[in-house]
């Protein structure tokens, strides 16, 4: 049973869910437009062995809306402060997509407070990502999705169902996320200065700087996974200590949680 609570960073009030104290801390960080309930299907598998936390980043879920500065560093600072002051001890961190970027940065920023990281399919070639988002088709999709933010869940669900090739449960989770999302979160991606969003995020340097046990879970590139085999080779050359597994048949957005649970459980179990 998880209970929703709030944590005041002094700059933002962050909504989060917390489970019973049944083991070492395990923090879940959601992807871009997600929220903590993106992990609904995964969390019950861990609450009997870990002290589970799941965070809403600012502007998403029920956390404080976005401020004037919209960048990755805000999420990193919020997550770091949450670990240091709310959890208060070294934590295992699972991050999906954007949450994976945050986990990588936190492992460098507060190494004594990050016990391990599991990063699921975060885009690692930022220039390739920005180039893809800069296409006319992608910009139209971003503008369309921005317009869904704040709309009633059922209206958002019907709009998303028309163009997302996901199972119904996943579409419903994202419909709730869009309904709660501050539309300003999309602004850096729609504008011409998308790389500014990543100021300070040095991917290879931070991958090399990970000193804790780390697992990179790669989704299937043939199913929309964001990490290419070339990216994996780069990661291994930068930091051979990072463990890697590819889950064939799984896309970027939680369409096979059982395999994610299995790989995460095995990795965390090996640390004990």
pLDDT digits (tens, 9 = 90+) for 203-251: 999 999 999 999 999 999 988 899 999 999 999 999 999 999 999 988 8
Q: What is the pLDDT of residue 162?
A: 83
Q: CA angle, 204 as apex, 25 and 217 as ends, to 5°?
A: 50
pLDDT score for 169: 86
| Residue 166: inside a domain | no
- d(CA 9, CA 77) in angstroms, rounded, equals 9
Kindly state whether residue 203 falls inside one of the protein's structural domains.
yes
- Residue 176, in any domain of the structure: no
Q: List all residues 6 or more positions away from 168 whose beta carbon is below 8 Å from its beta carbon.
A: 161
Backbone angles phi, psi at 48, to 5 degrees: -90, -10
Res. 193: pLDDT tops 90 = no
Average pLDDT of the chain is 94
Distance from C-alpha of 271 to C-alpha of 89, rounded to nearest angstrom: 16
Q: How far is Cα 3 from Cα 16, in angstroms, rounded to an integer?
A: 8
262 pLDDT band, cuts 50/70/90, is: very high
Each residue's pLDDT tens digit, 72-85: 999 999 999 999 99
Are 156 and 162 in contact by the 8 Å Cβ rule? The answer is: no
In a domain, 163, yes or no: no
CA-based nearest residue to 258, from 45, 62, 56: 45
CATH number, position 242: 3.40.50.1820
Asked if the model's pLDDT at residue 192 lies above 90, the reply is: no
Q: Residue 71's domain spans which residues?
A: 3-125+198-270
Q: Quote the pLDDT of residue 167.
A: 80
Rounded Cα gap, residues 8 and 15, in angstroms: 9
Q: φ and ψ at 244, to 5 degrees?
A: -140, 140
39 domain-assigned: yes
User: 133: helix, coil or strand?
Assistant: helix
Smallest Cα–Cα separation from 195: which of 72, 74, 102? 72
Nearest Cα neighbor of 82 from 114, 125, 39 is 114
Q: What is the pLDDT of residue 153?
A: 95
Residue 260 within any structural domain of the chain: yes
| Residue 164: strand, helix, or coil | coil
Beta bridge partners of 114: 91
pLDDT in the model for residue 224: 87
Helix (H, G, I), strand (E, B) or coil at 252: coil
Please write the tens of the pLDDT for every residue from 7-64.
Answer: 999 999 999 999 999 999 999 999 999 999 999 999 999 999 999 999 999 999 999 9
pLDDT category at 164 given cuts 50, 70, 90 is: confident
Q: What percent of the chain has a predicted confidence (pLDDT) above 90?
A: 80
Q: Please give the average per-residue pLDDT across 100-110, as a whole number.
A: 98
pLDDT tens string 198-208: 999 999 999 99
Question: Into how many domains does the chain fold?
Answer: 1
pLDDT at res. 67: 81
Answer yes or no: is 69 within a domain: yes
pTM for the whole structure: 0.96
- 243 falls within a domain: yes
Query: How far apart are the C-alpha atoms of 208 and 47, rounded to whole Å?
Result: 31
């Amino acid at each position: 049973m998880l209970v929703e609570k709030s944590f005041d960073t002094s700059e933002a009030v962050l909504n989060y869910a917390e489970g019973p104290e049944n083991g070492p801390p395990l923090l879940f960080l959601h992807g871009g437009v997600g929220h903590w309930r993106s992990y609904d299907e995964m969390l019950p598998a861990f609450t009997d062995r870990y002290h589970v936390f799941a965070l809403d980043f600012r502007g998403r879920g029920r956390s404080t809306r976005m401020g004037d500065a919209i960048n990755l560093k805000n999420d990193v600072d919020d997550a770091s402060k949450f670990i240091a002051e709310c959890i208060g001890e070294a934590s295992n961190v699972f991050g999906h997509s954007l949450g994976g970027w945050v986990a990588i940065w936190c492992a460098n920023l507060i190494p004594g407070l990050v016990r391990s990281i599991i990063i699921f399919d975060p885009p690692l070639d930022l220039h390739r990502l920005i180039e893809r988002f800069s296409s006319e088709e992608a910009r139209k999709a971003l503008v369309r999705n921005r317009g869904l933010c704040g709309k009633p869940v059922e209206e958002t669900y019907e709009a998303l169902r028309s163009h997302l090739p996901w199972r119904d449960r996943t579409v419903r989770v994202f419909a709730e996320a869009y309904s709660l999302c501050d539309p300003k979160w999309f602004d850096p991606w729609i504008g011409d200065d998308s790389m500014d969003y990543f100021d300070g995020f040095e991917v290879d340097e931070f991958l090399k700087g990970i000193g804790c046990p780390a697992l990179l879970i790669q989704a299937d590139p043939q199913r929309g996974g964001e990490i290419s085999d070339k990216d994996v080779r780069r990661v291994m050359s930068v930091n051979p200590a990072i463990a890697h597994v590819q889950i064939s048949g799984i896309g970027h957005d939680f369409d096979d949680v059982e395999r994610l649970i299995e790989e995460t459980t095995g990795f965390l179990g090996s640390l004990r």
